[in-house]
Amino acid sequence: MIKFEDIHKKYKNADYEVLDGLNLEISDGEFIHLKGKSGKSTVLHFIYLMDRPTSGKVFYGEKELNKLKFNFQRVRIRRKIGYVDQDLWLLDDRTVYENIKISTDLLKVKSKERKERVDEILAYFDLENIKKQKIGQLSYQEKILVELSRELVKKPELLILDEVFEKLKKNNKEKLLKHLYKINEEGTTVIAVTSEENLFDERIRVIDLDGGKTDVESD
């Protein structure tokens, strides 16, 4: 479970709060469409330990994220999470295959399974024919698919997508949606921020931050 208690966030030199008393709970295994005028990415950054609230508490399971003092504690949390946004975190001098494989190197699974996972995700997103190419040679669309593959191959317990659908072509959106529904049915929690309407079906819980001032939820 992810829980936000009375969260406030005001950035330096800003004259308003991005989040103003947010209270929110997300249960394990939910599929969330997070929308609203402001504060969406900020909420995701709190979960992935990229930022902290000005005040309030954020919990990931039993852990209060604000109180994690040591880097190894933060790494343990991040290993459970897949995070993809519009800023690509790929290694340009490495191949597609190497970039995806890196995500499996710290997994506690046998090398055979790690290879199978990489091969499976390459095939799913039709990346097999470019797996030996370096990232710097790819189009932006291809890079997004590699970034998605790198996070999905970990089989995270939580997957965060921050405005990724906006950058995908129609056929790749459909592929990603199909995969998201599949892993969600298997237990993965999914949180997606997107401005695209009518993208998801009735299985999705919609949360509207309403400018970050309160927690407004609808099904």
pTM of the model: 0.89
Q: Where are the alpha helices (DSSP H) in the chain?
A: 40-47, 71-78, 96-102, 111-124, 140-152, 170-185
Single-letter residue type at 3: K
Confidence of residue 214 (pLDDT cuts 50, 70, 90): very low
In the prediction, which pLDDT does 212 show?
57
Question: What domains does the chain contain, in order, with CATH numbers?
Answer: 1-80+156-219 (3.40.50.300), 85-155 (1.10.8)
Summarize pLDDT for 79-113 with one digit per residue, the tens.
899 999 988 889 999 999 999 999 998 787 888 99
Per-residue pLDDT tens digits for 151-181: 999 999 999 999 999 988 899 999 899 999 9
The residue with greater pLDDT, 108 or 77, is: 77
What is the C-alpha to C-alpha distance for residues 53 and 203, in angstroms, rounded to an integer?
A: 30
| 217 pLDDT higher than 80 | no
Residue (of 98, 168, 173) closest to 135 by Cα position: 98
**Cα separation, 54 vs 16, whole angstroms:** 12
Higher local confidence (pLDDT), 208 or 203: 208
Q: Who's near 134: CB < 8 A, 6+ residues apart?
A: 92, 93, 94, 95, 96
Is pLDDT above 80 for 215? Answer: no
Residue 198: pLDDT over 50: yes
